[in-house]
Amino acid sequence: MRVLAGFPTLFAVSLLAAAPAASAAPPAPAPSHPILGIWKLSLPTLRCSETYRFRGDGTTLVTSAEEVSESEFSIPDKPSDKGFYKLEDRIVKDNGKKDCSGEIMKVGTRATNFVRFHPSGGLFLMCTDESMEACIGPFERVEGEEA
């Protein structure tokens, strides 16, 4: 489980139990979706960082310490009336090594989180629901690299 100051992140925030299931790949996000690209989450208390590559085919590549994992995600083209995007994710590959918090993620783990972008487009927070009460971040856009 990835952690920011004791707070579970992307793959474990709202769903702590793995639920492996075969399913079709989620639809790819719109080519102009703000989530696409490379994002970095710094974890200073753990002296570690995580890099998330949200790709146009609806997959994500995550590196966290020694861990490398891939997931499939779905996200709507537009935010809700509250300004959040519902992000659903399922891990499909993992190298079985420890992440920044020393945890090992399991293939099949699913999570649903809510993403809120800063107006600049260069930052986002990830929250457990459509409020700012339980969020992690900021995730910072990494410029100048290919997703």
Confidence at 13, pLDDT banded by 50, 70, 90: very low
Q: How far apart are CA 59 and CA 81, in angstroms?
A: 26
Above 90 in pLDDT, residue 5? no
User: What integer pLDDT is reported at residue 2 of this predicted model?
Assistant: 41
User: What integer pLDDT is reported at residue 28 of this predicted model?
Assistant: 87
- Return phi, psi of residue 118, to 5°: -70, 150
Q: How far apart are CA 22 and CA 43, in angstroms?
A: 33
Above 60 in pLDDT, residue 16? no
ω into 138 cis (within 30 of 0): yes
Query: How buried is 123 (Cβ within 10 angstroms: 0-12 exposed, 13-18 middle, 19+ buried)?
Result: middle
CATH of 3-21+36-141, one of 2.40.128, 1.20.5, 2.60.40, 3.40.50: 2.40.128
- Return phi, psi of residue 45, to 5°: -65, -25
Q: How far apart are CA 28 and CA 136, in angstroms?
A: 25
The stretch 37-63 carries a mean pLDDT of 96
Q: Report domain extents, the chain.
A: 3-21+36-141
